[in-house]
């Protein structure tokens, strides 16, 4: 189908979806419009093949979502940090999930020694992850296996970046939430793999350098 024809069908499809949804759950839109109380904040890649609600089997209103290239949590990115702040302080999410995925174009680009123009500063943050895990990654001879492992360690590092934020540290020590978890989505079979990050252990290491729970500087 031509892309213009496909585009023209979008609004028609929306009407069909509204009708079906209302038939299934007559209060659906009234309830949704009332407010959101999601328990999960999902930070994932912008990749068109990876959709938070779909892969988690959750409905509208159940997951607060932030997406960017290669699911990064960069400490000067006001967008990601605002989402985390709002999710923790106002929505009181119980879990923050950082979800990477195999075959990630952003991670692949970071593995190539090429000048990507405006993308360079973003890719540099991913390349910095490679440098942190260089010994392990360089030792993997098979390029595809190295690529997969790079996706995993990148997701792990972004979980640590979430743990470095003041609101996450404060909320966790006051309430036991949010818990921060790292997942990898496998595009080949649709499965989610839990990286089983030991949050307590990581936090205790992180707090030696990034502890922000002792109050503001006076
Ligand atoms: Zn990706």
Q: Can you give the residue ranges of every domain in the chain?
A: 38-104+152-205
Instruction: Compute the distance from residue 115 Cα to the ligand 1 centre, in Å.
Output: 19
pTM reported for the whole predicted model: 0.94
In the predicted model, residues of the chain with pLDDT beneath 50 are none
Whether 51 is catalytic is no
Report, in angstroms and rounded to the nearest whole number, the Rg of the chain calculated over CA atoms: 19
Query: Residue 99: enclosing H or E segment and its boundaries?
Result: strand 95-101
Which superfamily does 38-104+152-205 belong to? Carbonic anhydrase (3.40.1050.10)
Provide the H-helix boundaries in 90-186.
105-111, 120-132, 134-138, 143-163, 166-175
Residues 6+ apart with CB under 8 A from 207: 169, 213
Which pLDDT score, from 0 to 100, does residue 214 have?
81
Which pLDDT score, from 0 to 100, does residue 1 have?
60
Q: Which residue is it, tokens 């979806």?
A: 17
**The pair of three-digit structure tokens given for residue 86, joined into one six-digit string:** 């709002």
Instruction: Compute the distance from residue 86 Cα to the ligand 1 centre, in Å.
Output: 24
CA distances from 53 to 41, 66, 82, 104, 173 (A): 11, 12, 21, 19, 29
Give the pLDDT confidence of 69-115 residue by residue, as tens digits.
Answer: 999 999 999 999 999 999 999 999 999 999 999 999 999 999 999 99
Q: What 3-state class would DSSP assign to 17?
A: helix
- Which residues crowd ion ligand 1, with CB under 5 Å? 45, 47, 104, 106
CA distances from 60 to 21, 36, 46, 88, 111 (A): 11, 9, 18, 19, 35
Q: Greatest CA separation found in the chain?
A: 63
Instruction: Compute the distance from residue 158 Cα to the ligand 1 centre, in Å.
Output: 13
Contact between 28 and 52 (Cβ < 8 Å)? no
Instruction: Compute the distance from residue 151 Cα to the ligand 1 centre, in Å.
Output: 9
Query: Distance between terminal CA atoms of the chain?
Result: 63
DSSP-derived secondary structure letter, 61? T
Instruction: Compute the distance from residue 1 Cα to the ligand 1 centre, in Å.
Output: 26
Which pLDDT score, from 0 to 100, does residue 4 have?
84
Which pLDDT score, from 0 to 100, does residue 215 have?
78
Whether 67 is catalytic is no
Instruction: Compute the distance from residue 81 Cα to the ligand 1 centre, in Å.
Output: 19
Angle at 59 between CA 29 and CA 187, to 5 degrees: 140
Instruction: Compute the distance from residue 19 Cα to the ligand 1 centre, in Å.
Output: 33
The one catalytic residue among 99, 104, 125, 159:
104
**The pair of three-digit structure tokens given for residue 216, joined into one six-digit string:** 């503001």
Whether 125 is catalytic is no
Instruction: Compute the distance from residue 116 Cα to the ligand 1 centre, in Å.
Output: 16
Whether 45 is catalytic is yes
The one catalytic residue among 45, 99, 125, 159:
45
Whether 47 is catalytic is yes
The one catalytic residue among 37, 49, 138, 194:
49
The one catalytic residue among 66, 99, 101, 125:
101
């Amino acid at each position: 189908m031509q892309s213009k024809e496909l585009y023209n069908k979008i609004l028609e499809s929306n009407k069909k979806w509204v009708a079906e949804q209302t038939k299934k759950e007559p209060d659906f839109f009234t309830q949704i419009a009332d407010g959101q109380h999601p328990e999960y904040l999902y930070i994932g890649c912008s990749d068109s093949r990876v959709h938070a609600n779909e892969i988690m089997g959750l409905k509208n209103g159940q997951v607060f979502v932030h997406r960017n290239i290669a699911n990064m949590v960069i400490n000067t990115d006001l967008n990601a940090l605002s989402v985390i702040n709002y999710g923790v302080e106002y929505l009181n999410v119980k879990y923050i999930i950082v979800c990477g995925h195999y075959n990630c174009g952003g991670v692949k680009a970071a593995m190539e020694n090429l000048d990507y123009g405006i993308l360079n500063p973003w890719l540099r943050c991913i390349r910095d992850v490679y440098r942190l895990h260089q010994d392990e990654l360089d030792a993997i001879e098979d390029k595809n296996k190295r690529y997969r492992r790079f996706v995993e360690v990148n997701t792990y590092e972004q979980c640590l970046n979430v743990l470095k934020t003041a609101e996450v540290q404060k909320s966790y020590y006051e309430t036991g939430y949010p818990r921060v978890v790292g997942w990898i989505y496998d595009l080949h079979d649709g499965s989610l793999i839990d990286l089983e990050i030991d949050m307590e252990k990581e936090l205790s290491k992180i707090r030696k350098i990034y502890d922000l729970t002792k109050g503001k500087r006076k």
